Structure 1
Amino acid sequence: MEFIKKLTEWVIEKEEEAAKQCAIGLDTIEKQLEFLKEKKIELQKRCDKNLKELEELEKRVEKIKSIELLRCKK
């Protein structure tokens, strides 16, 4: 994972340099932005789904805890 991060950072730096020299097309940048926005949306959906699942599990464990507390009081 660290390798991919470094590689991505390197590519972005090279594209920044190319943009400063007007050597990269605006359409290329727009395509990259659109791709990143799509990936961001996908990631947000996955995170939301995982958080919902965790919340459901938390509710179930809280319920189990309540049941156990009631049993132990008697």
Structure 2
Amino acid sequence: MMEFLKKATEWVLDQEEKAAQNCRIDLKDVQKQINLILEKREKLQKECEENLKELDHILDRLEAIKAKEEACQRS
């Protein structure tokens, strides 16, 4: 499904690019699209950063658990 959406998006962008080359595109519409994508990008970046922080926290805890078990095995 994602591949279909990627191809559809590329097709739409190709059509808009052709229209722009022929001076048949509304700059306000393009700017709206740019703003929308920038907002979505910012939201996704924030979500990814939060997810990475959570994964780092889990990794830290697992490393601490591992270190405790290794200490037990050395005793």
> Under a length normalisation based on structure 1, what TM-score does the superposition of the two structures give?
0.97
- Structure 2: give runs of 5+ residues left out of the alignment: none
The separation in 1 between residues aligned to 2:69 and 2:59, in whole angstroms, is 15
How far off its partner does 1:68 sit? 0.4
**CA shift digits 1:2-27 (9 cap, x unpaired):** 00000000000000000011111111
TM-score, normalised to structure 2's length?
0.96
Q: Which residue of 2 aligns with 1:51?
A: 52
Distance 1:33 1:44 in 2: 16
- Paired residue for 1:9? 10
Counterpart CA distance in 2 for 1:14 and 1:55 is 43
Runs (4+) of structure 1 moved beyond 3 Å?
none
CA distance in 2, matches of 1:49, 1:11: 32
Aligned residues: 74
Runs (5+) with no aligned partner, structure 1: none
Q: d(CA) in 2 for partners of 1:66 and 1:44?
A: 32
Deviations 1:8-63 (A, max 9, x none): 00000000000011111111111010001001001101100110110000001000
Q: Percent identity of the aligned residues? A: 46
